[in-house]
Structure 1
Amino acid sequence: MATICFVGTVGQTLTSTQTGWRFVGWWMLKTFVAGSVILIPIMIGYQQHHHPQRQGILMLTWLIGLITFTWAHYTTQPVVNASQRSPELYVVQQVFITWLLSTALVWASPYLHQLFHRWSISQRRRWLLIITGAFLILNFINGYDAFGFHRGNSLIWFGYLFAIGDWLANDQQWLRQWSPLKYGCLTMVLFLFSTVVTWLNMNNVVYSPHNGLTPNNHYLLAINPYQPFMLITCMLLVAGVSISHPKAQAAWRTSDTYQGILTLNLLGLPMAFTPFLMNNFSWTSGFLLAIVLWVILQGLTIAIVRFCPHWQLSLSISQVNHYLFKTWRRYWPLMLTFVLLWLMTLIAFALLWNGNWTMVQWVMTERIKIVLVNVAIAFAVAIIIMAITNRWWLTTGISVILYGGWIVASMLKITARNEPIIPTDLSTLAAPGAMLGMVNKRIIVIIILAIIVVMALTIWLEHQIGAGSRFSISGRIITAVLAVLYLASFTLANHSSSIIYKQLQNMDDIPYFYSQLRGAKLNGTLLQFANNIDVHTMSKPHGYSRTTMMHIAKKYQREGAIMNHQRLHNSVGHQNLVFVLSESYSDPARVPGLKVHGGDPIPYLHELKKHSTSGLMLSSGYGGGTANMEYQALTGLSIANFSPTMPTPYSQLVPYQKRAFTINQLFPYSIGIHPFTANLYSRKTVYRKFGFNKFYHFDGGAKITYTKKIQNSPRVSDDSAYKEISLNLLRQPHGKFVQMATMQNHMPYNPSYYHERQFKVSGKGFNTPDQQAQIETYIQGIHYTDAALRAWVKQLDEMKQPVTVVWYGDHLPGIYHGLPMGKYGVPLHETDYFIYSNPAAQKLNRTKFTHRYKLVSPNNFGALALEQMNVKVSPYFALLTKIAHDIPATSLPTNGTSKNNAAHQSGRDFINGQGKHVHLNKRQRQLFHDYQLVQYDLTAGHHYLLHNSFLKEVAK
């Protein structure tokens, strides 16, 4: 796997750049130096003869160099702008520290040798092998920084390397269990493997939700010497050469490492200042920690030797070889199956990323734990098959066929619907003929032939080679039960209290429910499928039944009839209603502790809110969750009522509903506009389900006319978005509903987007100058929005058509750092909104609304809009109107426990107009319970109310 990724990436590098060979040369040099950084401390420990005069001279040069380097201005920090730095400066990390501490080791080596030789060679070998093995295992499992090695710059790390060298110099008899040839071959193989692993570990690809994956630039970064395989390579090199010939042994024992240290002086010069720039680097704390750990280790060693003499951990290369061979001989078919499934997982990721090796490399290094989960899922299925058949080759063949079929089916669905296989697709298995009818006949033939070939090969291998050892009856039962339990654990994958949930969170599993294809690319098709198993729409409210729902229908029929006595219009008629979701819009002046200098960046919005129905909206998200606010505004349903395992109804619920009712269905014609991609949140499918007649977007939908941007910003401006709305309002027919989700103020907020930043900020909300610049860029953006809003409202006022606008910010941008959500949760979830009617609408409706609903929820907007338009309501909107009037603003918990687009903890907050958490009284609890019953019935229940007489027809 590593070799494939390495060759693929190098191939791209050599074919895509003119300096490819130069790049490879520098990379090999970096790898060599990284090995030297480990090898030199080992060699210092290996030397048993000391030169006091040279040590004194070296100590003097060390002091002079330390004073000189203190004034240097070089660093090994990552390059931001590749044109400003040269990759030659970044040869290896911590060279200066290696030079510093290696010089100290030379000076202190006589005393360290005396200290180490207090223990026998067998004791030193035993403990060093145990520490090395534990280090390798822990690092392989999760990259754990074991034993305080601290990424190769701690005193403990260099003391460990010195001890390795001292042991190798004095344990020749034990080392001779292997021949020099074996050591040499293993050293070469491991060196090449170390080069590949180092390459992969230095990959610097960064994932951005809306910009994809950035190209790697790891050739500009230094190699970290904290590489387990490089460590083993150096150990084998020293061991092999030291036993090769008596003269070689003598040369190794008396070799002059001072030249190596002087070489490090030159290599370390550009990085000399690094330790002085590290905020968390403390010589005192590191030295004290080394002393404490050394005392503890020495005490444990003495205690074990003295009081537990029977604890003789006899470690022999021959014994290790025996156990490894025995294990391999018994279970090699099982291991082969695992390797095949691993390779197939790699192929699956390559297909998901269209063969882009940079992206595959990123997944296989940065997401290695996630890859292992996918392999584990496939391997668990293989174990179950083995428990049934008890034949390795048959199990391998069936597993390969099943996993291969899964990969093919996933890619076919992605090609057809831009979405991987999820559990709801299993319903299509009931109609296999229809499902196969959508697949190209040639593909079906190829699949059948592939199955025949694999099964024939499996049968031949079963007879020719045999299957090795098989499981006993008890072994088959135990392994099958364990595999089934593992697979069954994913039924709790989204329960925040479950073990599997916590484990997946530690592995950085991000389901990306709002973009299933993105989730599959990052998590793999198998894990993404498993992420969607533990999803249910909503818990059944108490008392749900047909009788109860019929009672509720009659109850709100009466309530609606009372409301309608005071309403003017029986239908929306030729009125137009526009919902504008203003991306990430919220007044920064309300952010706790943040001060904005340079005037009011949004003066027109503040003025407009004084003359319209307006206030604040309680968002269910912070820094994200746009589609959830859009869903609540269009449907009138609250995200807080849904199960925590379904955080994104747009992609998890709506595509699978037989009918989804939304306010646009009250209008003769409805339009959706989103000047961005429509693949996120399954918007194409959702808007079709909602009954929109047209959807304007950048992925093959109706063509957007206005697409201008502001200066260097990559997003379509709000001015263009508003012009697009006006253009569609002027088109026939009238009586339209328009849904607009803008993009101008979407993250990121790069300071280079706008030529100037008129507004400055101070106080809380940022920790660094970069964060401050992001906030100021964001404020400049909403200032441009304010100007565009002024011009648009002027256009609306000149229209003869009656137009009502519901305008709201969906959430705050996620750029305010250092503000605890537990303390400032409510203000960090409050955005601006207004409901404005142009003069034509005011005249038609005979009212001019300037109500002050201080704090509302997005699910209130539909009812409030119909109220402002003076339109009579159906029983459903009668219920929503009472919710808007009588229930405080409702949201997911505002304390930060709820996540955007990911399973989260259950609960909801009720917030009054003063921003205080409140509890519902008895009357409010009954009303809210009715609301929950209706929401359950329309989404997850038996749909007793999913008909026009409750949803659309005017209550009488």
Structure 2
Amino acid sequence: MSENISKTTSKSHWRLWINRAEADEVTPKHPHKPFPGWLYGVLFVVFDIITVLTLEVGVSASADRVQLSNPGGTGFDFITKLWTNGNCVILLNVLLIGLLYLAVLMLCNRFWTASAIIMGAGIFVATIEHFKIEIRYEAILPADLGFLGSNTGNMLTFIPAGAHVAILVALGAFAVVLALVLVLRYFDGRKGRMIRTANVGLNISTRLILILLPVLGFSLYCLQVGVTDSWANKLSSVMGDKPSVWDSVYDAQRNGPLVSFTRQLNPKVMDKPADYSEETMKEVAARYKKAAEKINATRANDLNDSTVVYVLSESFSDPSRVPGLKVNKDSMPNIRKIKESTTSGLMLSSGYGGGTANLEYMGLTGLSMANFDSSLTSPYQQLVPSEHWTPTVNQLWGAPANSLGYHPYESSMYSRATNYKKFGFSHFYTLTGPDIIKYQDKIDESPYVSDKSTYDSALEGIKDGSASKFIQIITMQNHMPYHEWYEHNDYTAQSTTGTPLEEDEKESIETYQKGVELTDQATQEFLDELDQLDKPVTVVFYGDHLPGIYSSASQDENNSLALHLTDYFIWSNKASKSQGTSIENADYSSPNFFVAQAAEHMNAKVSPYLAFLTEMHTKISAMEPPVVNKIQGWDRIPEGQSIYLDAEGNPMSETDFDEETKQLLADYKLIQYDITTGKNYLKTTDFMTLP
């Protein structure tokens, strides 16, 4: 009896509580009426847009250094281009922030609380972006999420001197936002409560669905946007996203920080080989260990007993080889003569008018862009920051003190400063530091540091001390655009197709020709200086791609291969035993094979990895992804096979490969997968170790 009375009393209390709650909704104790639903909707959109614009301020407010990618840009054309050319990328950012906003809103079930959180988070992230750009000229990248774990203390490295001003501004902005929210909440008789049903089960289930749906949508977008031809990738493209991954700040300015960030979260690197396993990788390591022993039986020298210098010469190529173009004189007589007396040939480039860092990556790693999925457009940005193991050529020279890099431009471009440290370089000398390149002279009206100055800076590092080193040089002198920079320029160019060159194209070509001549002279002087040294030095010199100035020639698809062939040579000084050496199968190559070719040129012993590259190069002289006659964009071509060239420079078809070549290609993909995105089984073997 008493038990029934207790149950009845309990039900009465519950019913009384619900009645009171319903009464509060109808007749609130405060004098203000609840805001209508449509007003919440309007304010949701307004606060969403405020958050997006706050993030854009974070990447634009301190980005006052002029970049190649955005000369004179402010970063805020991200907003104006919505009505100037119909680009809707700002709406894509609003949509993505809106999904996160909705999830937070349903989580706390209070509109004003959620609004303060989302706008406050925007201010916080924008402040961190501002600090990072201020000291590194680099936007927040997915790799920075590691700071949220055990490296949280390293967040302090993002805070520059004088940061108190920005912090005070951020706190002031948050105070304004908070005051606005509190005032609106005061006048809202509903107090921002969203789901108000008295049915607890319905309340929870509704909120849970409205949390999971936006989180799922946002997560699926992040997982797919970095994959070529996925629904998210297509949506992003249709909305106006134009990836500019060579410069993370410009990319964030141009496409919005959130879109730029999410694109790099989960790029598809490459397909997992069906037979990939620890056992398979041990078999691969053993196979090329035997190959290395066979090669080393005929080699007398050690690779790291010599200093090796890689020279990536920006846009260096022979204008006289461009189809349909006639030039009045040779702009590279010295390098042409050098090529005749040493290992040399033509290099197949994956880029045209751009893509420098991809060629650089292949040269330093021995890996090929042809093996990667088309979604991976820039390993320096999308892959290297998250890798746990990054074996590179320079590491064969031991301690980081023996690895030096020189690049007379921004250290942040392609995240080079961060990546070179990860590669094991002790110093990477640039215009912006932290290591400042010593010589910075420019020629006439050119905006770029001359090749001579770059060589002079590197010479000091080469001469310093008796230890052998690996030196990486990336020049800037011949970077586009090309205007009338040089005095006394007597180069001329004309079309042989019957259609005269446009004036802009003609001016660019003639300026570029003069730049090639200056590089030719500076390179000869550099080699002459190296010849005076009493320690062995070998130079691997190559042009990364043709300049994107040949509008007439690029209109003809039959010129694709010719517009992707640059010049390279491998040269040794007088103190080297290999001076004047010219190895076989050198007429055509690609950067991934340079280290193996250098070892052969130097008659140097190889690791199992270099033995593999040596064998691969005997079957395929050059390999790159599909190439096109347009300035390098950041959308790889998903259709068509990669380009493979034989020893005579003729394209090869995969269907015609013999069994040995097929096995080598299969092994290449296994090796590349293991190093980049696999379990790093090769790391525990001596696959990368020189004898």
Q: Is the 8 A contact 1:805 1:836 kept in 2?
A: yes
Instruction: Indicate the residue corresponding to 1:627 in structure 2.
Output: 357
**Equivalent position amino acid for 1:884 in 2:** H
For the 8 Å contact 2:63–2:249, the answer to whether it is kept is no
Tell me whether 1:383 sits opposite 2:115 in the alignment.
no
Deviation sequence 1:75-112 (CA, Å, 0-9, x none): xxxxxxxxxxxxxxxxxxxxxxxxxxxxxxxxxxxxxx
Shift in alpha-carbon separation, 1:756–1:845, aligned structure 2, 3 A: closer
> Structure 2: how far apart are the matches of 1:509 and 1:340?
22
Which whole-Å CA distance do the structure 1 matches of 2:182 and 2:228 have between them?
Answer: 45
- Aligned AA (1:363): F
Kindly provide the amino acid, as one letter, of the partner of residue 189 in structure 2.
Q
Measured against aligned partners, the alpha-carbon deviations of 1:339-375 in whole angstroms (never above 9, x if no partner) come to 1221232233233222799825533212562222212
Does residue 354 (structure 1) correspond to residue 61 (structure 2)? The answer is yes
User: 1:417–1:921: structure 2 CA closer, same or farther, 3 Å change rule?
Assistant: same
Change (3 A) 1:748 1:428: same
* Relative contact order higher in (CA < 8 Å, ≥ 6 apart): 2
- Once the two structures are superposed, the pairs formed by residues 263-412 of structure 1 within 5 Å of their partners are 329-354=36-61, 359=74, 361-366=76-81, 369-388=88-107, 391-412=110-131
> Letter of the aligned partner of 2:592 in structure 1?
N
**2 CA distance for matches of 1:705 and 1:533?**
37
Partner residue in 2 for 1:884: 617
Shift of 1:931: 1.4
Match for 1:366: what amino acid?
K
Distance (Å, rounded) in 1 between the aligned partners of 2:662 and 2:584 = 25
How far does residue 732 in structure 1 lie from its aligned partner after superposition? 1.0
Equivalent in the alignment of 1:43: none
Secondary structure of 1:536 counterpart: coil
- For 1:147-158, list aligned pairs within 5 A: none
- State the TM-score, normalizing by the size of structure 1: 0.60
Shift of 1:455: 11
Given candidates 604, 607, 631, the residue that maps to 2:337 is 607
Equivalent of residue 927 in structure 1, options 640, 664, 685: 664
Deviation sequence 1:397-426 (CA, Å, 0-9, x none): 343334334334444544565433333433
Quick check: 2:363–2:592 contact (8 Å CA) kept in 1?
yes
1:225-263 deviation line (CA, Å, top 9, x unaligned): xxxxxxxxxxxxxxxxxxxxxxxxxxxxxxxxxxxxxxx
Residue aligned with 2:409, SS: coil
Q: Are 2:292 and 1:560 aligned? A: yes
912-921 or 805-814, larger mean C-alpha shift: 912-921
SS at match of 2:491: coil
1:863 is aligned, of 593, 596, 600, to 596
Kindly provide the CA deviation profile for residues 592-621 of structure 1, in whole angstroms up to 9, marking residues without a partner as x: 21121x222222222221111111000111
Pair 1:464-2:189 in alignment = yes
Cα distance, 1:774 vs. partner? 0.6
Is 1:893 aligned with 2:608? no
CA contact (8 A) 1:611 1:850 kept: no
In the alignment, which residue of structure 2 is the partner of 1:525? 257
1:476 offset after TM fit, Å?
A: 7.0
Q: Which one of 465, 484, 488 corresponds to residue 732 of structure 1?
A: 465
**Aligned-partner SS, 2:465:** coil
1:507-555, Cα deviation, whole Å (9 max, x unpaired): 4323333322221122222111221133133321121111011111111
1:733-882 matched pairs, under 5 angstroms? 733-763=466-496, 768-818=502-552, 819-820=554-555, 822-841=557-576, 844-845=577-578, 848-849=581-582, 851-882=584-615
Distance in 2 of aligned mates of 1:743 and 1:650: 18
Q: Distance in 2 between matches of 1:381 and 1:700?
A: 37
Q: Following TM superposition, by how much is the alpha carbon of 1:720 offset from its aligned partner in structure 2, in angstroms?
A: 2.4
What is the CA–CA distance in structure 2 between the aligned matches of 1:925 and 1:635, rounded to whole Å? 22
Shift of 1:457: 2.2
**Structure 2 residue identity aligned to 1:928:** L
Q: Is the 8 A contact 2:353 2:632 kept in 1?
A: no
Distance 1:428 1:455 in 2: 32
Q: Size of the alignment, in residue pairs?
A: 623
In structure 1, distance between residues paired with 2:516 and 2:151? 52
Instruction: Quickly say closer, same or farther: Cα 1:526–1:922, change in 2 above 3 A.
Output: same
* 1:643 shift after superposition: 2.6
- Mean alpha-carbon deviation: is it higher for 581-590 or for 453-462? 453-462
Deviation at 1:570, TM superposition (A): 3.9
Q: String of CA shifts for 1:670-701, please: whole Å, max 9, x gaps.
A: 21111112110111112211212322211124
Structure 1 residue 830, shift from structure 2 partner: 0.6
Which aligned pairs between 1:30-69 and structure 2 lie closer than 5 A?
A: none
1:684-699 equivalent positions in 2, closer than 5 A: 684-699=417-432
**Aligned partner letter, 1:421:** I
Match of 2:449 in 1: 716
Equivalent in the alignment of 1:257: none
Secondary structure of the residue aligned to 2:74 is helix
| SS of residue in 1 equivalent to 2:115 | helix
- Once residues 276 and 507 of structure 2 are traced to their aligned partners in structure 1, the CA distance between those partners, rounded to angstroms, is 53
Q: Distance in 1 between matches of 2:156 and 2:504?
A: 55
Measured after TM superposition, the shift of residue 794 of structure 1 is 2.8
**Equivalent residue number for residue 641 of structure 1:** 371
Q: Counterpart in 2 of 1:505? A: 237
Asked if the contact 2:365–2:393 (Cα under 8 Å) also holds between the matched residues in 1, the reply is yes
Per the alignment, in what secondary structure is the counterpart of residue 890 of structure 1? strand
Answer with 1 or 2: which has the greater Rg. 1
- Give me the whole-angstrom Cα distance separating, in 2, the residues matched to 1:766 and 1:345: 48
- Residue matched to 1:590: 321
Q: As a proportion of its length, which structure holds more helix?
A: 1
Q: Which residue of 1 aligns with 2:14?
A: none
Name the residue aligned to 1:123.
Answer: none
2:640 maps to 1:941: no
RMSD of equivalent CA atoms: 3.4
**Structure 2 CA distance for partners of 1:790 and 1:817, relative to 1, 3 Å:** same
* Aligned residues of 2:624 and 2:644 also touching (Cα < 8 A): yes
Cα contact 2:304–2:469 (8 A) shared by 1: no
Once the 2 structures are TM-superposed, how far is the Cα of residue 889 of structure 1 from its aligned partner?
1.1
Judging changes above 3 Å, is the alpha-carbon distance between structure 1 residues 533 and 903 closer, same or farther for their aligned structure 2 residues? farther
SS in 1 for 2:441: coil
**Pair 437,722 (structure 1): closer, same or farther in 2 beyond 3 Å:** closer
CA distance in 2, matches of 1:752, 1:439: 38
Q: Would you say the 8 A contact 1:659–1:689 is kept in 2?
A: no
CA distance in 2, matches of 1:599, 1:530: 49
Q: Aligned equivalents of 2:581 and 2:174: distance in 1?
A: 73
Q: CA deviation at 1:737?
A: 1.5
Distance 1:426 1:462 in 2: 39
Instruction: Supply the distance in 2 between the matched residues of 1:690 and 1:792 (Cα, whole angstroms).
Output: 26
In structure 2, the gaps of 5 or more residues are: 1-34, 65-72
Aligned equivalents of 1:950 and 1:580: distance in 2? 26
Q: Distance in 1 between matches of 2:458 and 2:109?
A: 66
For residues 545 and 447 of structure 1, what CA distance do their matches in structure 2 show? 55
Rounded to whole Å, the distance in 2 between the matches of 1:647 and 1:624 is: 12
The 1:643/1:709 distance shift into structure 2, 3 A limit, reads same
Give, in whole Å, the separation in 2 of the partners of 1:439 and 1:617.
40
Equivalences for residues 11-160 of structure 1 within 5 A: none
Separation of aligned partners in 2, 1:746 and 1:419? 21
- Mapped to 2, the partners of 1:767 and 1:338 lie a distance apart of 51
